[in-house]
Amino acid sequence: MNVTGRKRTKEEPGRVLEELKNIVNRSPAVAFLWRAAEGWPVEFVSDNVRQFGYTPADFTSGRIFYARIIHPGDLERVTAEVSRYSREGRDEFVHEYRILTASGEVRWLDDRTWIRRDQNGTVTHYQGIVLDVTKRKRAEEALQKARAELERRVEERTAELARVNRTLNTLSECNQTVVRATEEQALLQEICRIITDVGGYPLAWIGSAEQDAARTVRPAAQAGSEAGFLETLGITWADTERGRVPTGTAIRSGQPRVAKDIRTDPGFAPWREEVVRRGYMSAIALPLRGGGRVFGALSIYASVPDAFHAEEVRLLMELADDLAFGITSLRERAARSRAERAQKESEERYRSLVELMPDAVVVHRDNIIVYVNPACVWIAGGKSPEDLVGKPLDRFIHPEDRDLVAERVRRMQQEGTSTPLSEQELLTFDGRVIWVEITGAPILYQGLPSTVVVFRDITDRKRAEERIREAEHRSAVLLGAIPDLMFVLSREGEYRDFQVPDVRLLALPPDEIIGKNIRDAGFSPESLDAILQMIRRAIDTRELQRVEYELAVPSGIRQFEARLLALNDREVLCIVRDIADQKRVEEALRRHTDDLIRLHRQLEASNREANLYLDILTHDIGNTENVANLYADLLIESLEGEEARYAEQLQRSIRKSIEILRTVSTIRLIHQASPELKPMDLDAVIRRAIEAFPGGTFHYEGTPYRVMADDLLSVVFNNLIGNAVRFGGPEVVVAVRTEEEDGSVVVTVADTGPGVPDDEKDAIFHRYEEQKRGVGEGLGLYLVQILAERYGGRVWVEDRIPGHPGEGATFRFTLGIAG
């Protein structure tokens, strides 16, 4: 009989049980058998319960009931759940709760329990397996905290962007107001209103830095506060207690001054109670600079502490600078207008005097006549100034007097003195000899040293009758050559005399006009009143007067400008010019200017909006993506298994987004800045690009060329080589070579990847523009194309093996050789 085999058979179950027991004890799961009694006394527990600091005997001896190690905060819930599952007749259930280890450490358990019942259905025992899931729970808590922190930061950034956007809107409206402004006080008041209405600030005011002994800050405009509030503050820009408020400090230092919390800011000590009572908690003062000095400050108050962050301060400083420029421009424009008006009035008075005076005025330089007045043309026998201007002075001097006149001119220029009044003979334009009283003096004419000569024809004293006849003839010729209409009018508007180049410009028949009144000419009531008023004003003030009007004449309704100058106490000379063509030109120019201004404003607004969106995209969203990438790193380190794979997929998406944002930033940089090409070491650029892909297989033998490009040249190689490695797979081989062709360097990047189909070879560089792409697709090659064009070259793609598009692609582009 084989006793040995029978003995082995009896020992086999014990050995198996022992092995199972060892397996359980070596696993993280602890097996329990609880009796269905108060406190859940333990009848069995596996030895691996020691991981919680307890021994099996601690429980099986009855010294410790299982309920005792359940966390007090979870015990009531666990008891209720076990009771409910038992009543519902379940056979098993799962729940999670905390326990306390023997050392007092808190652990999370995953409890999977089976309910035992007797033949009557009464629950007798609970058999379960508990697994320590503390690490998982902590990871979940960390993830929840990270998500909450991310949401908090997003909310903060969103609020900050809203503030910046509000400030940008304020800046935009203020800039438009500055552009349109024509009067300083209205500009200041409107800026304050925009800051409070659009910017949402409760108070904005502009103070002028007075140059009095107390260095007073005078409120020039305000919005948002009740009347009289600012005047009671008595702010100064002197370095005194009342000058240390932000407004005074900004004017004194020329730098922006921010009070983050008025309740604690020492500069507000004299007014703190009054200011805080009105709800102002923080403030900023921005200096207004112009003409090399600070002439005031823009002060803005907020209803919350620390309301002015760095970006908002920068934008508000830009607003203040634009406002200061606008104020300075208005003041300069007003001063220039006053000066121009004064100069114009002076010039008009002088020109009227010269043009209408009976004495001849001649200006000559280097013996050449450069100006004559009408009297000179008349006396000299010319028909227009062109008859004399440009002619040698000697032509009009009697031969016997030429040496004397030359010596007088030389002495005047050397000594800077005028010559005394004298008599001499002059030759007229038509060869006559006349006697004149003459004097001269050195002057600057058109910025050059010249001589002015004033003379009076006295030939009439010797040949009175002949002078009268010749004078009448010359006057008729002169007046006939003038294109303007000329009238002599009485104070009451009666026509006394007239001279016109075209009778079609007369409102009355020429043979009936003398003796008629302007009231008979068909003027509108408004024009008639204006002309009569100008006649009286010209006689009373002896100053040149102007008036514009419309009048129906035989040639149609025309626009005229009349210039009136008193001839005596009863009459005026009225010179009328047809300005219809001039008005049409001015109106067309005004409309064209308005169109250009409107288009310019539209372009500026579109550019600001585009830059705002690009700034948000490349900066703010980029920063958020970088933060998300960091949190993804933390998640990958703290998770395992499937959760870790999900986190890795999330991180790949984030990095793809970061790559797209960088590409967009590069494209923006290309379009914003003009290319500044410089000689580049092509070999160094290629080798750095290859080194960026350490796992790839490359064939490159170097190149001696230096090319004209910039620091973005590496982007071309990174995109072409990166595409080859990414789409070609681990077995792809990339070859880079260069050759000279027609004075340029042709760079070739060939790969053994899947190639480019023939019908996509042209479209592949335009896929981004045509939007026939996935997320981020097409940006790289689009960037390659615009960089190649930026360097004065082109880029194209061919089959690596001609006629076999599926056996790899060859990208080529050209670069200019550096001289």
Tell me the pLDDT tens digit for each residue of 450-463: 888 898 899 988 76
Residue 568 to residue 517: CA distance in whole angstroms: 19
- 192 by Cβ neighbours in 10 Å (0-12 / 13-18 / 19+) ranks as buried
pLDDT at 1: 46
In this predicted structure, what is the pLDDT of residue 549?
87
- pLDDT-above-70 percentage for the chain: 82
Compute the mean pLDDT over every residue in the chain, rounded to the nearest whole number.
Answer: 83
Q: Tell me 392's DSSP state.
A: B
Evaluate if residue 300 carries a pLDDT over 70.
Answer: yes
**pLDDT > 90? residue 556:** no
> Is the per-residue pLDDT at 774 higher than 50?
no
299 or 503, which is more confident?
299
Instruction: Return the pLDDT at 33.
Output: 94
pLDDT at residue 332, rounded to an integer? 84
pTM: 0.36
Q: pLDDT at residue 746 above 90?
A: yes
Asked if the model's pLDDT at residue 213 lies above 50, the reply is: yes
Asked which of 24-33, 107-116, 528-537 is least confident by mean pLDDT, the reply is 24-33
Q: How sure is the predictor about 773, in pLDDT bands with cuts at 50, 70 and 90?
A: very low
At residue 465, does pLDDT exceed 60?
no
Beta-strand relationship, 733-741 and 697-700: parallel
Query: Confidence class of residue 54 from pLDDT cuts 50, 70 and 90?
Result: very high
Model pLDDT for residues 328-372, shown as the tens digit of each residue: 888 888 888 887 787 777 767 777 777 788 888 999 998 899 898
Q: Specify the pLDDT at position 707.
A: 94
Distance from C-alpha of 207 to C-alpha of 146, rounded to nearest angstrom:
48
Is pLDDT above 50 for 775? no
More confident of the two residues 318 and 164: 318
Between 123-132, 503-512, 802-811, the lowest mean confidence (pLDDT) is in: 503-512
For residues 403 and 411, the answer to whether their CB atoms sit within 8 Å is: no
Tokens 């790559």 sit at which residue?
659
Query: Per-residue confidence at 624, pLDDT binned at 50, 70, 90?
Result: low
Helix (H) or strand (E) holding 424: strand 422-427
| Section 188-198 average pLDDT | 90
pLDDT beyond 60 at 655: no
| Residue 708 confidence (pLDDT) | 93
In sequence order, the 6+-apart residues with CB closer than 8 A to the CB of 420 are 439
Q: For position 688, what pLDDT does the model report? A: 93
Q: Is residue 738 over pLDDT 90? A: yes
pLDDT digits (tens, 9 = 90+) for 78-127: 999 999 999 998 999 999 999 999 999 999 999 999 999 999 889 999 99
Residue-level pLDDT at 271: 83
Mean per-residue pLDDT, 257-275: 88
- Beta carbons of 221 and 191 less than 8 angstroms apart: yes
- The answer to whether residue 647 scores a pLDDT higher than 80 is no
For 157-187, the pLDDT digits (tens) are 665 666 667 777 887 888 888 888 889 899 8
For residue 263 the two structure tokens come to: 């309740």
User: pLDDT confidence of 14, banded at 50, 70, 90?
Assistant: low
pLDDT of residue 776: 44
SS3 401: helix
For position 716, what pLDDT does the model report?
93
Given a cut of 80, is residue 587 above it in pLDDT? no
Residue 550 Cα distances to 419, 501, 524, 556, 579, angstroms: 49, 19, 8, 10, 10
The DSSP secondary structure of 231-269, one letter per residue, reads GGT--BSSSSGGG-SHHHHHHHHSS-EEES-TTT-GGGT
pLDDT at 666: 61
Residue 472 clears pLDDT 70, i.e. is over it: no
Inform me whether the pLDDT recorded for 639 exceeds 80: no
Between vectors from CA 411 to CA 408 and to CA 417, what angle results, nearest 5°? 100
Lowest mean pLDDT among 112-126, 311-325, 354-368, 578-592: 578-592
